[in-house]
Amino acid sequence: MKTLFTWVCSAGGPLIVVPAEVAQYWRGVEGWSPSEVQRDLADESVSDYARACGIGDYLGILKVGHGEALILGDMPMQTAFIPDPEGGIFVRWMYAESEGGVRRALGSVPESAWEPTPHRIEVAREGLLVFDSACSGDTLPHPSQDVDPASWIHIELPEGTYTVDTADYEPDETTRLILHRLRGH
């Protein structure tokens, strides 16, 4: 059966949303590559993956190289990105009877469901990568070797700063989605 969206999932940990230009600095379970500013404060025993697992909410920010990444925390959920004219929405499938149910729910999200967060992400020329935070950002498999759901996805967005709003949307007893909306400014 053909899917409606390109889904990405992890092996059990959080997903990372990182500008492609700084993804190479993410070391996953291999180690920790803090920014130069943080280097003096580093606990050498901590990995980037452990830092991501330390995010106790659905969404958090971590330094990566000279940039920042969004961490899609809490439970590991199959995730897709749906572009729109202002940016797009990360759709995290907590539960639904089918992908069609996810699509129907997305068509009825009221504006009142969205809550602003203090988080922002900078998107540069190369867009964003979304992958399992346990992986190293410079060793992602070639797209032709990937599976469904994917182990990583590339998101193309216009350069700029995007604010992030979140919705915990449960339109009925069989569907619940965690949504993160990127809006460019």
* 1-26 pLDDT tens trace: 456 789 998 888 899 999 999 999 99
Cα separation of the two ends of the chain: 38
- Asked if residues 17 and 154 have their Cβ atoms less than 8 Å apart, the reply is no
**Is the whole-model pTM more than 0.95?**
no
Would you state the pLDDT for residue 120?
Answer: 96
* 43-100 pLDDT tens trace: 555 899 999 999 989 999 999 999 999 999 988 899 999 999 999 999 999 999 999 9
Collapsing DSSP to helix, strand or coil, 136 comes out as coil
Centroid of chain to Cα 86? 17
* Residue 121 CB neighbours (<10 A): 22
pLDDT at residue 166 above 80? yes
